[in-house]
Amino acid sequence: MVSDKPRIVKVLNVRDESKTVRSLIFEDDICSKARPGQFVMVWIPGVDEIPMSISMTKANGLAGFTVRKVGEASSALFDMEAGSLLGVRGPYGRHFTPIIGDVMIVGAGTGLAPLMPLSEILTQNLSSIHMIIGGKTIDEFVFVDRARAILSKTKSEIIITTEDGSYGTKGLATDAMEPILKEGHIDKIYTCGPELMIKKVLEIAQVFSVPIQASLERIMKCGIGICGSCCIGRYRVCKDGPVFDSPKLEEIIGELGLFKRDHSGRATII
Amino acid sequence: MQEPDLSIEISSLKMESPLMLASGILGTSIELLRRVFEDGAGAVVTKSIGYEQRMGYDNPTIVEVYGGYLNAIGLSNPGIKEFYKELSRSKIDDLPLVVSLFGAESSEFSEMISILNELEVKAYELNISCPHVKGFGVEVCQDAKLVEDIIEAVKKETQKPVFVKLSPNLTDIVNAAKLAEDVGADAITVTNTFKAMSIDIETCRPILANKIGGLSGPVIKPIAVRCVYEIYQNVDIPIIGCGGVVDWQDAIEFFLVGATAIQIGTGIAYKGLSVFEKIKQGIKDYLTLKGKSSLRDIVGLAHGF
Ligand SMILES: Cc1cc2nc3c(=O)[nH]c(=O)nc-3n(C[C@H](O)[C@H](O)[C@H](O)COP(=O)(O)OP(=O)(O)OC[C@H]3O[C@@H](n4cnc5c(N)ncnc54)[C@H](O)[C@@H]3O)c2cc1C
Ligand SMILES: Cc1cc2nc3c(=O)[nH]c(=O)nc-3n(C[C@H](O)[C@H](O)[C@H](O)COP(=O)(O)O)c2cc1C
Ligand code: FES
């Protein structure tokens, strides 16, 4: 078993994904074998340790994650340059299970991070993907080019939606689901992004009886299933998730998109 | 032969199994506590709750070391009033629920208990031994007068059993246990974690944000076993052994030196939530092999030598 102690790695490459989003690539054999949907606890010495989904794995021992600058720790990561040192432990958690068939992917923002390596496996499996990428406005999009390149390998489509209509179709990502679900059979839906979007995806999937897998976020401290800070219902997001199947998502629907706990464990409205 | 009897009682707390969930492990929500109970724990202890909300320390709050884990969560908790709401969200009368409390003075403890009094909490555990938060924990534990005041105040406020959790960081844990017994504690829980550190040699700095944390897991078990052994020779109230239980053999060691029950924390990191059922089965098989009909028959056997 791999130790739950940070392994110090050097940032090899930093890639701009948008004005506020960057990918950091580093060498770590263990992370390079991560499955899509798994995350690492990233230690920024002197700052914090935060969970990040693995957004990229390569056969030559490289791996990467993709960070949006929101607060102190994510900004510190965003500002890192090639040569900076980081600690990583993991990868942790349950991953997406790629199938062979017709699938739908609904993602937004950095929620797309784990969905990219997933799409790579899906297209290797020759699955055809209906990918819906949503955002508020045109500046926010990441991974669109990468998604196009991955999806070009099979009979797939990309649908872009923005709330203000500045890119793709005007509306929410979830608005684009129904026409596709009505048109033909979808075997499975994968989603990651804002929790209210995930909840809506679940509700629509229920109507069409399509199984889904969704990746959730909660405050993480230990990342290994003992501290309880990431709890949602009777589950630990770090260990029983972050990827959950429909039955478990239905069990926690009373919390999903409604409330989450802060660092003290106090429930707060989302 | 009949299945050996693993049920135990500590004062009015009745447990089907002697394996409890240790405080601070998954004790943040009532649903998680119930899940651990359903997964085979005889009783579940909440995360330690204080009067005021605390965010705890920054991450990293946990790191693995050889033979165990270091943590400096920093007593993060939502505060007693918020936790009261947490416990009121569902029916808890069938749940063997122990609430762990920490505080800096006796009035805080009695106020917290008066808030929880109407709930179906089955017992309280006083955490006067957290090794890494200034003003609470070990510092409380080291002040005999304060310990006395706290236990007396708590006993005045509630009829429910009160366990006192001690720290191995004390020079004289036996005296602390005797003192707790004298002022009315119903059981002693030993031990909390040990003050410890871990340094990253690449960046030359402590890994935990708080620098110092508490050591748990297999590496502390021999010390915890020694503490139970010594306390058993000096007090009559039940002892709840805690520290490094991962397999059934570890649990048996604690019973042989005199523990009535044991708590499991870090064991979950190694074995997952099935740790309770696995250890329970291991204890049953051991008792059957030794021809014992009840767990009570082996408690303290190591003192015969
Ligand atoms: C499994 C998982 C995977 C994630 N993957 C990514 C990813 O690929 N890319 C990305 O940009 N972000 C990801 N996040 C979110 C990311 O961890 C937070 O945005 C980050 O911790 C914010 O830290 P901060 O100090 O910059 O912001 P702060 O200002 O401290 O916090 C902003 C918000 O971030 C969240 N947050 C803060 N600390 C934590 C913590 N320890 N654990 C979880 N959430 C926290 C809280 O919701 C908080 O309100 C993921 C979170 C989880 C749980
Ligand atoms: C992550 C973590 C958090 C803890 N939090 C608390 C706490 O809030 N209150 C407390 O009394 N003990 C706390 N402890 C100590 C445990 O309850 C237990 O006494 C100690 O870990 C030794 O047992 P173990 O080796 O089985 O884990 C914590 C331990 C860990 C690992
Ligand atoms: S982060 Fe500690 S249990 Fe999930």
**SS3 state of residue A120:** helix
User: Would B278 be classed as within a structural domain?
Assistant: yes
Active site (annotated) includes residue B130: yes
**SS3 state of residue A232:** strand
pLDDT tens readout for residues B180-239: 999 999 999 999 999 999 999 999 999 999 999 999 999 999 999 999 999 999 999 999
CA distance B128 to B151: 10
pLDDT tens readout for residues B146-176: 888 999 999 999 999 999 999 877 778 999 9
Interchain contact, A231 vs B29, CB within 8 Å? yes
User: Would A263 be classed as within a structural domain?
Assistant: yes
Interface test with A, best of B29, B36, B99 (most A CBs within 10 A): B29
Q: Kindly state whether residues A115 and A232 are assigned to the same domain.
A: yes
Average pLDDT over residues B7-29: 96
Q: How far does A16 lie from chain B, in Å, by closest CA? A: 26
* CATH assignment at residue B295: 3.20.20.70
**SS3 state of residue B237:** coil
pLDDT of residue B1: 63
pLDDT at A126 over 80: yes
Q: Which of A183-197, B3-17, B143-157 has the lowest mean pLDDT?
A: B143-157
Instruction: Give this complex's ipTM.
Output: 0.94
pLDDT of residue B161: 97
The minimal CB distance from B269 to the residues A45, A226, A233 is found for A226
User: Would A246 be classed as within a structural domain?
Assistant: yes
B131: pLDDT confidence band, cut at 50, 70 and 90? Answer: low
Omega cis (within 30) before B61:
no
User: Would B255 be classed as within a structural domain?
Assistant: yes
Q: Kindly state whether residues A18 and A141 are assigned to the same domain.
A: no
B240: pLDDT confidence band, cut at 50, 70 and 90? Answer: very high
Domain count for chain A? 2
- For ligand 2, say whether the CB of B24 is within 6 Å of any of its atoms: yes
User: Would B62 be classed as within a structural domain?
Assistant: no
Q: Kindly state whether residues A172 and A218 are assigned to the same domain.
A: yes
The minimal CB distance from B202 to the residues A48, A85, A225 is found for A85
User: Would A97 be classed as within a structural domain?
Assistant: no
* CATH assignment at residue A33: 2.40.30.10
pLDDT tens readout for residues A93-108: 999 999 999 999 999 9
Instruction: Of B228, B278, B251, give the one whose Cα is nearest residue B8.
Output: B251
A233: pLDDT confidence band, cut at 50, 70 and 90? Answer: very high
**SS3 state of residue B14:** strand
User: Would A245 be classed as within a structural domain?
Assistant: yes
Average pLDDT over residues B69-75: 96
Q: Kindly state whether residues A232 and A110 are assigned to the same domain.
A: yes
Which one-letter DSSP state was computed for residue B130?
Answer: -
CA of A225 to the centre of ligand 3 (A): 4
Average pLDDT over residues B94-107: 94
Average pLDDT over residues B108-122: 95
- By C-alpha distance, the chain A residue nearest B66 is A3
pLDDT of residue A139: 86
pLDDT of residue B145: 84
Across all residues in chain A, what is the average pLDDT? Answer: 95
Which pair of tokens denotes residue A33? Answer: 């074998």
| H or E segment to which residue B93 belongs | none
> Which atom from ligand 3 is nearest to the alpha carbon of A238?
4
pLDDT of residue A106: 97
Confirm or reject contact between A234 and chain B (CB < 8 A).
Answer: yes
Q: Are B4 and B250 in contact (CB under 8 A)?
A: no
Domain count for chain B? 1
Which one-letter DSSP state was computed for residue A14?
Answer: E
Q: Kindly state whether residues A254 and A192 are assigned to the same domain.
A: yes
Q: Are strands B43-45 and B97-101 parallel, antiparallel or unpaired?
A: parallel
pLDDT of residue B274: 97
CA distance A16 to A109: 14
Q: Kindly state whether residues A72 and A183 are assigned to the same domain.
A: no
* Rounded-to-5 percentages of helix, strand, coil across chain B: 35, 20, 40
Q: Are B127 and B189 in contact (CB under 8 A)?
A: no
Can you give the residue range of the structural domain that contains B98? Answer: 8-56+75-195+218-304
DSSP string covering B155-192, please?
Answer: HHH-SS-EEEE--TTSS-HHHHHHHHHHTT-SEEEE--
Can you give the residue range of the structural domain that contains A55? Answer: 2-92
Determine what percent of chain A is predicted with pLDDT higher than 90: 95
Residue with the smallest CA separation from ligand 2 atom 29 is: B24
Q: Kindly state whether residues A170 and A109 are assigned to the same domain.
A: yes
Q: Kindly state whether residues A114 and A26 are assigned to the same domain.
A: no
Residue with the smallest CA separation from ligand 2 atom 26 is: B265
- For ligand 1, say whether the CB of A23 is within 6 Å of any of its atoms: no
A257: pLDDT confidence band, cut at 50, 70 and 90? Answer: very high
* CATH assignment at residue A129: 3.40.50.80
Instruction: Of B54, B82, B74, give the one whose Cα is nearest residue A222.
Output: B74
pLDDT at A81 over 90: yes
